[in-house]
Amino acid sequence: PGALAGTIGLYSEMADGIEASFAHGSRDGWDATLSAGARLGAGQVAIDGRYSRGDGFVPVTAGQRGAVDRAAPYEQGGLGVRLRFDAGADSRVEASLRGFSDRRDRGVDFTTSRIDGVDASLRFVHDPAGATQWLALAYVQQRDFDSGFASVAADRNSVAPALFQRVPATGLGGRVELRPAIGDANPLRVGVDWRRTVGRTEEDYFFTGLVPGRHRVAGGSSDTLGTFAEWTSGDPHEAFLWTVSGRLDRWWLAAGYRHEYNFGGPPISDASFAARQGWEGSGRIGLRWTANGFSLRAAGYRGWRLPTLNELYRPFRVGADATAANELLKPERLWGGEVGADWQGGGTKLSATLFANRLSNAIANVTLATGPGNFPGVGFVAAGATYSQRQNLDAIDSKGVEVSAEQAIGPAVLRATWAYTDARVDASGAAAALDGRRPAQIARHGASLWLRDNGGGPFGGFATLRYIGAQNEDDLGLQRLGDALTLDAGLSWRLSGAIGIEARGENLFDEPVPAAISSSGIVERATPRTLWIGTRINF
């Protein structure tokens, strides 16, 4: 809530020069970044990279650990290159190529995960001042995800493999946008865009020792073709501003599939799921009035979301708990509105927003049974573990308020925020037990207090106090994650115009922030106290 136009435009400037940072932290953590850019003929070239690793921490809380629990190490990195060349006085060509890799596990054997990805894009922009502007964009995204899942004994003193999963996926897309000149401005945007996603899951499960006995392959593809338009009135600094936008999408889900067979044996199932298609519309109207530093704003909007291939075809496990996919899921549809006010005077800023939303056909993991037993789409579920399926709820209704205040105090800025969200499930049928409950993983209260220097001297620092309220981990509210208060802080010293040193700490209270809880009550914690010291170089 709070955005006026409903569309966020991200514009990244290409690096000019070199910027690097290096830091060493708790549990032998290392973090390094590098970006560099330079002129290249009639254009620019920029590269950026990042690498981090660490020994990790034991995810399971101290009082519940057993012999199988250990620290969960991680290693990740990425490298990207961007090129931009002028193509005439008012045109340019931009190309980007980026790859990344991530390796980690969940702190027990047989739970290693790997994510590799490559993104590439090519864009042509023609944007003469005071004349018609247009752009054309094409992109491709490639992902490959591997993950292992383990069965841990109740006393956590033994572990065995339960499932190995590989999920390759490819995304393709393009967009053409036109901004005609109207007077001396370009207030109207019209265009078309298209996105295609193809993916599948390949799973080995029913292990005997270290040898899997069964294999499953499931997947499909989706396409969305849409046309859109947006009109924004006048200069954003005028007293009255309005914006209206809308789009119409045609979507397709190609025939999906799920095949299962025993290694060395006959097929167990050979399911095909019918192709589907449909139309969806979305839009937004926003208004803002400003006078003497005071603003009033309001917006109404309608949006939608097509179920992902993961939700439609890919089952998954979290520990011993298993969740099946659902090829019959319908698109989610959102209706919402908000009103707000802002005031700014001197070094003070105040803001408040009231919002209300209704998400129809909300997709959620609905608990259907408890193991032990064999369940469709996931296989064997151990005793005490839950079997769930992704399903469309009738709706999730939410309303609330967001408040923020900011004050300049000498060489520093103090900012406070508070958010309250009252969300309730509207459910019937197989999900009737959820009717009137709070949705999983939505806290009622959240707040922060933030203090930072204004960057005016060689010394700097920040401190951020965050509060997150209690929330349910599961749909039935049987597993509850407690609230948490964390403190992050840091100090920096710029030794010269090019070199600085910094020290920072995360979760300085070492608050045992709960991140997840299983059906058997095993609690996993978020990052414990972590200290970093490093240097930053700019030239």
pTM of the full structure: 0.87
The answer to whether residue 518 is domain-embedded is yes
**373-377, 408-412, 526-530: segment of lowest average pLDDT:** 373-377
Q: Left if phi > 0, otherwise alpha if psi is -120 to 50, otherwise beta: which for 209?
A: left
User: Between 190 and 214, where is the model more confident?
Assistant: 190
Q: Which of 63, 94, 125 is the last residue of a domain?
A: 94
Q: How far apart are CA 160 and CA 538, in angstroms?
A: 49
pLDDT, tens digit (0-9, with 9 covering 90-100), for 2-31: 333 344 555 556 667 899 999 999 999 999
Amino acid (1-letter code) at residue 516: A
The answer to whether residue 251 is domain-embedded is no
Reply yes or no on whether the pLDDT at 367 is more than 90. Answer: no
Q: Which of 62, 94, 126 is the last residue of a domain?
A: 94
Could you give the C-alpha distances from 275 to 255, 351, 402, in angstroms and in order?
A: 4, 47, 42
Q: Which residues fall within 8 angstroms of residue 338, CB to CB, at 6 or more apart?
A: 1, 2, 298, 299, 353, 354, 355, 356
Can you spell out the DSSP letters for 380-437? EE-TT-EEEEEEE-SEEEEEEEEEEEEEEETTEEEEEEEEEEEEEEE--GGGGGGTTP
Reply yes or no on whether the pLDDT at 379 is more than 80. Answer: no
The enclosing domain of 399 has a CATH number of 2.40.170.20
Q: Which of 34, 62, 94 is the last residue of a domain?
A: 94
The answer to whether residue 34 is domain-embedded is yes
The answer to whether residue 247 is domain-embedded is no
Mean pLDDT score, 379-395: 85
Mean pLDDT score, 299-318: 90
pLDDT, tens digit (0-9, with 9 covering 90-100), for 396-455: 999 999 999 999 998 899 999 999 999 999 999 888 989 999 998 899 999 999 999 987
The answer to whether residue 297 is domain-embedded is no
Total structural domains in the chain? 2
pLDDT, tens digit (0-9, with 9 covering 90-100), for 90-143: 899 999 999 999 999 999 999 999 999 999 999 999 999 889 999 999 999 999
Q: CB neighbours (10 Å) of residue 230?
A: 21
Cα 265 to chain centroid, rounded: 41
pLDDT for position 13? 64
Q: Which tokens is 245 given?
A: 């936008």
Question: In terms of residue numbers, what domain contains 56?
Answer: 20-94
Reply yes or no on whether the pLDDT at 320 is more than 80. Answer: no
The answer to whether residue 239 is domain-embedded is no
pLDDT for position 516? 87
The answer to whether residue 85 is domain-embedded is yes
Contact 204, 227 (CB under 8 A): no
